[in-house]
């Protein structure tokens, strides 16, 4: 595996809640995939889990060179493997951009505190 790029993002949970906490469902649907909204729908830690997904999206975008024409937030999806590890699934424009960069796999690390969520992503080629 050869690293192509590294991305990092840190989300302040209070600010994230202020931005999205009172959003109508359509706003969240423009940012998060149906799967992401489904797995974060309930629980006291919902905003931590949504913020983690946001941090991963931002970190992936940094590897891809930023948001570009033909890309949307829902093109980047955080999934959870059966063993609990995070993984990235790309769709549409983000997938095409990753392919053009030679990225064939992603490494993801997420960390939480009471007030912040951080994510690191590495796009790699084989």
pLDDT of residue 43: 85
Please give the tally of structural domains in the chain.
1
Give pLDDT tens digits for 71-88: 999 999 999 989 999 999
pLDDT of residue 64: 98
Q: What is the mean pLDDT of residues 94-113?
A: 97
Domain range enclosing 93 = 2-125
Rounded-to-10 torsion of CA 9, 51, 30, 58? 10
pLDDT of residue 58: 98
Give pLDDT tens digits for 107-124: 999 999 999 999 999 999
77 is in an annotated binding site: no
**Rounded to whole angstroms, how far apart are CA atoms 94 and 72?**
8
58 is in an annotated binding site: yes
**Rounded to whole angstroms, how far apart are CA atoms 47 and 51?**
6
Secondary structure class of 33 (helix, strand, coil): coil
Query: Does residue 1 have a pLDDT over 90?
Result: no
Give pLDDT tens digits for 27-76: 899 999 999 999 998 888 999 999 999 999 999 999 999 999 999 999 99
Which CATH number belongs to the domain containing residue 6 in this structure? 3.90.470.20
Give pLDDT tens digits for 12-32: 999 999 988 877 778 899 999
pLDDT of residue 44: 85
pTM for the model: 0.94
**Rounded to whole angstroms, how far apart are CA atoms 103 and 4?**
7
């Amino acid at each position: 595996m050869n690293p192509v790029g590294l991305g990092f993002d840190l989300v302040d949970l209070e600010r994230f809640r202020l931005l999205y906490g009172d959003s109508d469902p359509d706003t969240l649907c423009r940012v998060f995939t149906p799967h992401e909204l489904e797995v974060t729908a309930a629980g006291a830690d919902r905003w931590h889990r949504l913020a983690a997904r946001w941090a991963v999206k931002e970190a992936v975008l940094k590897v891809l060179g930023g948001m570009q024409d033909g890309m949307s937030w829902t093109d980047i999806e955080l999934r959870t493997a059966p063993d609990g590890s995070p993984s990235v699934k790309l769709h549409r424009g983000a997938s095409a951009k990753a392919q053009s960069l030679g990225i064939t796999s992603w490494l993801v690390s997420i960390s939480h505190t009471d007030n912040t969520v951080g994510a690191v992503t590495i796009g790699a080629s084989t």
